[in-house]
Homo-oligomer: A and B are copies of this chain.
Amino acid sequence: MFDFEFQNPTRIVFGKNSVAKLDALVPADARVLVLFGGSSAERTGTLAEVRAALGKRERREFGGIEPNPTYETLMRAVELVRAEKLNFLLAVGGGSVIDGTKFVAAAAGFEGDPWRILETFGGAVTSALPFGTVLTLPATGSEMNHNAVVTRASTHTKAFFANPLVFPKFSVLDPTKTYTLPSNQLANGVVDAFVHVVEQYLTYPVEGLVQDRFAEGLLRTLIEVGPKAVLEPRVDYDTRANLMWSATMALNGVIAAGVPQDWATHLVGHELTALYGIDHARTLAIILPAMLGLRRDAKRAKLLQFAARVWDITDGGEDERIDQAIEKTRTFFESLGVKTHLSDYNIGADAIDGLVAKLEEQGLTKLGERQDVTPTIARRVYEASL
């Protein structure tokens, strides 16, 4: 096992009707900015619940944070925070709203050009406004970690930052908030959480026995509840609760502690969002099967473990088991309505030069747990994803 440090101070408030607890969670004298995305927060009544719980606190609202939140939009929120001297942020939404809120929290008091927060991967952050979240879409795990991805619209660049100062103070997780989600968003959430686990698990063995068991437990849970959540017409509380908690645990640091991490699928996939606007989770479903297939030698031991412990595949030769496990993964994604080939999005071989160039432009030339995913390998992955 690798040496590690682990700390995650976010308070989770999980269960039915937990939005009402905001009154106890947000300081009584806070001047609050409520951040949200599109119209669903209003339409579903969640914003009304939030307003009621915040009561007489000074409150402003900032809507319109996009999926893949943009620097340009978020900087308008930063200006509002500064102008109105707001001192507490409340994200109401999914990963994009929460990621965006992390950036606003870090940028509000930042001296100099806030883009530096992203250029330094968060290293330049020295303070952040406190914030909480009300999660409406289980997927990214942003509600219990200190990472965020922000897109610069002007350059189609997806940039990442992390800093312990942007852990949410609290996150309210009410599984009933997922009841109004369209099935494609639920499916995206299942795939996103699944691939988060895979990025921290399918590398090489380091005798991280607990981490492996936990990762496998999350994958099995997602395989069990994913189809129920996405495909069954009847809404079931426990299914949604398990999906929500799996997605949170998938990226809160617990399964990452002491083990190698990959993230090449994410980074190679990011360019598909940046250049073609494909939903983040759908880029993962396209890239992952090809990525695992091509890197099977470096990942052999863990792929065989994945086959045995997650998919119960124990018969056949090694490559046969690995092929079956990858195929089962692909079929799982497809069963949720998530396509797994670039051609499903009308993207052909002619796009690949541009995708690889975008990776190189950002210096993303040595990806993965062994830093062996070069532009050459990335090109082969895109080709195998056609």
Q: Spell out A's residues near B (CB within 8 Å).
A: 1-16, 18, 207-210, 212-214, 216-218, 220-221, 224-225, 238, 241-242, 245-246, 249, 254, 257-258
Contact = CB atoms under 8 A, between A and B. Distances in A.
Contacts of A10: 7
A14 B9 contact: no
A257 B254 CA distance: 14
A1 B207 contact: no
Contact of A210 (B11, B210, B218, B257): B218
Given A209-B246, A213-B213, 15 more contacts: A1-B242, A3-B15, A5-B13, A5-B14, A6-B11, A7-B9, A8-B9, A12-B257, A207-B238, A207-B242, A209-B225, A209-B242, A210-B249, A213-B216, A213-B218
B217 A245 contact: no
B213 A220 contact: yes
A225 B11 CA distance: 32
Nearest to A7: B11
Nearest to A167: B9
Given A207-B242, A210-B242, A220-B213, A4 B11 contact: no
B1 A12 contact: no
A163 to B, nearest CB: 15
Interface centre among A9, A210, A241 (most CB of B within 10 A): A210
B5 A11 contact: yes
Contacts of A213: 213-214, 216-218, 220-221
A242 B2 CA distance: 11
Nearest to A212: B217
A210 B193 CA distance: 13
Contact of A241 (B16, B207, B224, B225): B207
A217 B210 CA distance: 6
A246 B214 CA distance: 11
A210 B216 contact: no
A218 B211 CA distance: 10
13 contacts: A2-B15, A3-B14, A3-B16, A5-B12, A5-B14, A7-B9, A7-B11, A209-B224, A210-B221, A210-B246, A210-B249, A213-B214, A213-B216
Contacts of A3: 14-16, 18
A276 B79 CA distance: 68
A1 B254 contact: no
Contacts of A210: 217-218, 221, 242, 245-246, 249
Contacts of A254: 254
Contact of A217 (B8, B216, B225): B216
A245 B258 CA distance: 10
A302 to B, nearest CB: 16
A96 to B, nearest CB: 24
A254 B7 CA distance: 13
Contacts of A207: 238, 241-242
A11 B5 CA distance: 7
